């Protein structure tokens, strides 16, 4: 069923080939948005796109590696060439990295983690800022984790990247809130049955966790209800 807010809108979701990203893309399409799906895995994106189309929705896939040089600039240019505005940007793509003591963090891996979890998201904001400002109801949602606010042993690298992402995104929201009808929110999906969660907790029974669709429904619900910049949603 088309949603009054999302119907006819353009949304872009990163990390959309599986997990929360895929579920969010499908939920947004189900509410009437045209969704641009991006991730490294073309086959995964194609499977999500097929499910969206089978359900009567609309989507476009854009396979790319967010940390590849100029990839985000190329994506932003391609979207700007086809559409006049971007109504929703969902920053979901992230890597976990090794769970290890801070003193043992591998520098090269930490660099890759920060490049994807933080620097790529800044590049996405920079690249899509003009299109977001052109929307009459622009929205930016960034996915985070509780370890970004509440440090946990062995999660220092990943937690640091999420803490920095929250600061970056909320600062952007403060910068634009008086210049454009653009609002920014943070969503913490909580314990969810994803591949990342499986890597972090290999012995955990996924049957006791919420499905990615629950996080997606919460995001769509937040968009429908409306929010002010700086809002933080923790999905129970």
- Which residues are annotated as catalytic? 158
Place of tokens 């049957």: 207
Query: Which residues on adjacent β-strands are paired with residue 234?
Result: 188
Q: What is the DSSP letter of 124?
A: H
Angle 93-109-149 from CA coordinates, rounded to 5°: 55
Q: Do residues 169 and 91 touch, judged by C-beta distance below 8 A?
A: yes
How would you write 95-119 as a 3-class SS string?
CCCCCCCHHHCCHHHHHHHHHHHHH
Q: Report how far residue 107's alpha carbon sits from residue 117's, in angstroms, rounded to the nearest whole number.
A: 15
């Amino acid at each position: 069923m088309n949603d009054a807010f999302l119907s006819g809108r353009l949304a872009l979701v990163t990390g959309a080939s599986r997990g929360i990203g895929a579920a969010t893309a499908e939920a947004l399409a189900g509410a009437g948005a045209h969704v641009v799906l991006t991730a490294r895995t073309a086959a995964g994106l194609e499977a999500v796109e097929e499910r969206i189309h089978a359900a009567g929705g609309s989507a476009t896939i854009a396979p790319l590696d967010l940390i590849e040089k100029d990839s985000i600039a190329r994506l932003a240019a391609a979207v700007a060439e086809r559409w006049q505005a971007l109504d929703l940007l969902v920053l979901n793509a992230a890597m976990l990295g090794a769970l290890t003591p801070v003193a043992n963090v591998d520098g090269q891996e930490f660099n890759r983690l920060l490049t994807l979890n933080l620097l790529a998201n800044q590049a996405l904001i920079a690249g899509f800022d003009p299109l977001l400002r052109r929307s009459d109801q622009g929205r930016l949602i960034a996915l985070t984790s509780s370890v970004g606010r509440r440090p946990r042993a062995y999660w220092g690298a990943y937690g640091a990247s999420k803490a920095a992402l929250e600061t970056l995104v909320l600062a952007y929201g403060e910068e634009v809130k008086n210049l454009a009808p653009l609002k920014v929110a943070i969503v913490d999906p909580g314990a969810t049955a994803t591949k990342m969660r499986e890597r972090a907790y290999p012995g955990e029974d996924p049957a006791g966790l919420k499905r990615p669709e629950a996080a997606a429904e919460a995001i769509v619900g937040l968009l429908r209800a409306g929010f002010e910049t700086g809002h933080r949603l923790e999905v129970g």
